Chains A and B, each alone.
Chain A
Amino acid sequence: MSYIENENNDAHEAVSDSGYSSDSAKRFVVVPGETIIEGEDYLPGEGTRREGSKIVSSKFGLAEIAGRVIKLIPIFGAFVARRNNVVIGRVTDITYSGWLVDIDSATSGFLPIDESPRFVNRNEMDQYLSIGDVIAAKIWSVKTKGIDLTLKGKGLGKLEGGFIFKVIPSRVPRVIGREGSMVNLIKDKTRCNITVGQNGWIWIQGESIDAEIKARKAIELVSEKVHVSGLTDKIEAWFMEEK
């Protein structure tokens, strides 16, 4: 039984943009320790810091100067778990109080038995979720010892059918697109269910294998282009060619 609904659900976090302020902002690649800009008026955003009169990068990524706050958009890098992130995970073990879930993060995930969407008897835990099964879950707390997950919410739950694969986590905003525009385009063209986890793992399930393969190819194409503008149009064109 599937708990996923096809239509718009908040399994895709409200992402206000694809990660970029606007196409007109000044953007350039920086390495850690490199000066982005000099001036007392600027404020260091995440991934940057102030050193004297300079704003300096703390990561390898795209520096963006769009206003007073200097942004750094990471291009590569592991997933950093945050509360309310939706993630795709694989069940690795069953304990008395819940399921251990690998969410491909430096800290392991845990789904307490009370956070399943319906009541599950302690004796029937493996009938609901067994080792190797896949879930779409929301992070509700991040601690040093572990990350707690919940399946309560629209679009969350055990995933059935289809397959999962990974893209670099920092590309996820591009895959989702401004207000979901990119992932919705791909869903539309392939008629597949797609759930994008902030941890870079993506679930695709469609009516035919060919549709599923095409959806994956489209997503991989999007995730590989770092700063190309008008990507949505380019992908539309790609779908046209692939017919």
Chain B
Amino acid sequence: MTREYKRSDGRKNNQLRPIVARVGIIPNADGSAMFAFGGTIAIAAVYGPRQLHPQHMQNPSTGILRCNYDLLSFSVYDRKKPGPSRRSNEISKVTEWALAPALDLKEFPAQVVDVQIYILQADAGTRTAGINAASMALAHAGLPMKDLICSVAIGKNDKHLIVDLTKEEEDYEEGEGATDFAMAKLANHDELTLLQMDGKIQPNIIKDALKLGSEACKEVYEAQKKALKEVVKGDSDNRVASSSKSSNAQFPKRRDIIKEIIPDGGEEK
């Protein structure tokens, strides 16, 4: 493994950005959630299982999972024109492949489960945040699942293996440059469902990279579990809730995130 490496935001190699996770943010959806890694914020909604139209697309032996991922136009500094891009098309597909193994789609022949993922604010790791949000939303929708799916981006800056890269770290150019390795796995099983990599990484350190990623996924899992269980707690007190599916979710404002990075007693940036 690599020695201690100082990252520009002060994090250790294996340290994730502050996670914010909330479930039930979209009352109309069958399941919904929000997941943030630091400044990357994703929201996801699940509708289904429901009828699939047109009929000729139905598969009589199994249900279909349909994922749609996209960036909101103002989630990035250079405004993204509305409409699907090649990148969002690809990410939609790998997201579908990442999530499908957790579901038993044979229980829903001829039906569809629609997953919609949108990025409100992008600072690298958007597909991983999206998968984490979608995983919670699928569970929230009451779908039968083998496990939750957890996703993180592992990476390398020069020779140092790091976890949850920022945009700056994705653009790192010195030495061996930047490698970005997005992974997803079933939380409690050794099953990797997403593996996407760009950069320069030696085959003999993949093992370490995967170990680093799996450890980081445990933290994601804890956050997902907590967010799901909190929704139920909210329902069982004596508040007259206006909707049993909504929580008082707020998207994390920048101030909230800053509070979590700086330990108590620190000054604001």
Contacts and interface: CB of A to CB of B under 8 A. Distances in A.
A58 to B, nearest CB: 5
Contacts of B60: 144
SS of A interface (majority)? loop
Interface in B183-239: 186-189, 224-225, 228-229, 232, 235-236, 238
Given A76-B31, A107-B51, A227-B236, A47 B186 contact: no
B49 interface: yes
SS of B interface (majority)? loop
Contact of A32 (B102, B232, B241, B245): B102
B142 A60 contact: yes
Nearest to A221: B240
B145 A59 contact: yes
B49 A78 contact: yes
A34 interface: yes
Interface residues of B, number: 39
Contacts of B229: 29, 31
A106 B111 contact: yes
A58 B241 CA distance: 28
A12 to B, nearest CB: 22
B55 to A, nearest CB: 10
Given A29-B232, A168-B244, A106 B50 contact: yes
A62 B238 CA distance: 19
A224 B49 contact: no
A31 B49 contact: no
A132 interface: no
For chain A, the bracket of interface size reads 20 to 34
A33 B110 contact: no
Interface string A134-168: 00000000001100000000000000000000001
A76 B232 CA distance: 10
B148 A32 contact: yes
A78 B49 CA distance: 7
A78 to B, nearest CB: 6
A226 B245 CA distance: 11
Contacts of B48: 78, 106
B180 interface: no
Contacts of A225: 235-236
B144 interface: yes
Given A106-B111, A168-B245, A58 B142 contact: no
Interface in A211-243: 221, 223-228, 234
A77 B108 contact: no
B144 A226 contact: no
A32 B146 contact: yes
Interface string A71-114: 00011111000000000000000000000000000111000000
A31 B111 CA distance: 24
Given A32-B145, A107-B111, A77 B30 contact: yes
A76 B142 contact: yes
28 contacts: A31-B139, A31-B229, A32-B145, A32-B148, A33-B145, A58-B146, A59-B144, A59-B145, A60-B139, A61-B142, A62-B232, A75-B142, A76-B245, A77-B30, A77-B142, A78-B50, A78-B142, A106-B48, A107-B51, A107-B110, A168-B244, A223-B244, A224-B235, A226-B235, A226-B236, A227-B232, A227-B236, A228-B238
Given A29-B229, A106-B48, 9 more contacts: A31-B139, A31-B225, A60-B142, A76-B142, A106-B49, A106-B51, A144-B60, A171-B244, A223-B244
Going nearest first, the 7 A-B pairs with the smallest beta carbon separation are A77-B142, A33-B147, A32-B145, A224-B244, A60-B139, A226-B235, A106-B49
